[in-house]
Amino acid sequence: MKIMAGNSNLPLARAIAGYLELPLTDASVRRFADEEVFVEIHENVRGEDVFVLQSTSFPANDNLMELLICIDALRRASARRITAVVPYFGYARQDRKPGPRTPISAKLVANLITEAGADRVLSVDLHAGQIQGFFDIPTDNLYGAPVMATDIHTRYAGLDLMVVSPDVGGVVRARALAKRLDNAPLAIVDKRRDRPGQSEVMNIIGEVKGRMCILIDDIIDSGGTLCNAAQALMDAGASGVSAYISHGVLSGGAVARVEASALKELVITDSILPTDAATDAKKIRILSIAPLIGEAIRRIADESSVSSLFD
């Protein structure tokens, strides 16, 4: 087994390699003067089971091309099996046609990864579960809920917890976390989105008064939805609001928005390399999912069960 990394999130790749007690494969992923991506592998990978770690986060197109070219280089070097480990799967929010004459870009990206030569895909908290069906190769979708639940148990033990979904679409994810928190009660924020990046909270479904609310979602981008939801929960009488998010995209002024919000704390995973602003923010804390991904890689390499990780 070999572990190879692109440039999108080297600290996470090193942490996963450390968990597996393996060195990262000696390879160069660099740019020509015109920004073309060039990959060169400096050790023999013939007949090896190779895992390529690369999140397709900002800059999404550059990181996606790095992933594709890494896979192609490994295929041409006769690797036995190539697994694309994509902790954050970019373009996942384009998983359907929201209107006429629009693309389903998540399917296009799935086709590109498959055609490049990947034999398997491993990701974390896909935006929509059906994206697994966009691939014609085996796809494992890991869940961050066990890592988050352990952290919540540690930090909020003894409090009257309520798990809150910031929209109707996230109820399944929120229910799964609530089950891990000793069947904590569930609430839903009913919101109306007029255009991308802007939302208006309409109503809180559930009794949150006097309870410590845990908002759960897969992606925080601009932060508007989450901050509005936190304020609505506080207005409804919640004793406090913290948020646990799998992928901290945090584009534009999101970090400043979170710092100025009613949130007590925002917890994100390191599926995306955090910016300096996110690392320095007082309200933002980062959980590592390196052990989760590392254990999944070990089980795939050993041909043992991955789903039993979440039992």
Helix 145-155 crosses helix 171-180 at what angle (to 10 degrees)? Answer: 50
Rg over CA atoms, the chain: 20
Residue 12 contacts residue 60 (beta carbons within 8 Å): no
- Altogether, the residues listed in the chain come to a count of 311
Residue 2 contacts residue 51 (beta carbons within 8 Å): yes
Active site residues: 191
223 is in an annotated binding site: yes
One-character DSSP codes across 156-211: STTS-EEEEESSGGGHHHHHHHHHHTTS--EEEEEEEEEETTEEEEEEEES--TT-
Residue 136 contacts residue 114 (beta carbons within 8 Å): yes
26 is in an annotated binding site: no
- What is each CA distance from 175 to 121, 157, 178, 273, in whole angstroms? 26, 19, 5, 28
Instruction: Tell me how many degrees the CA angle 194-195-199 measures, rounded to the nearest 5.
Output: 60
190 is in an annotated binding site: no
35 is in an annotated binding site: yes
224 is in an annotated binding site: yes
192 is in an annotated binding site: no
56 is in an annotated binding site: no
Beta-strand ranges (E) seen in 25-158 are 27-31, 37-41, 49-53, 81-86, 120-124, 139-142
206 is in an annotated binding site: no
Residue 131 contacts residue 110 (beta carbons within 8 Å): yes
Please count the CA atoms within 13 angstroms of the CA of 279 that sit on its side-chain side: 6
93 is in an annotated binding site: yes
83 is in an annotated binding site: no
34 is in an annotated binding site: yes
Please state the residue numbers annotated as binding site for Mg(2+). 127, 167
What residues are designated binding site? 34-36, 93-94, 127, 167, 193, 217, 221-225
Binding-site residues for ATP, please? 34-36, 93-94
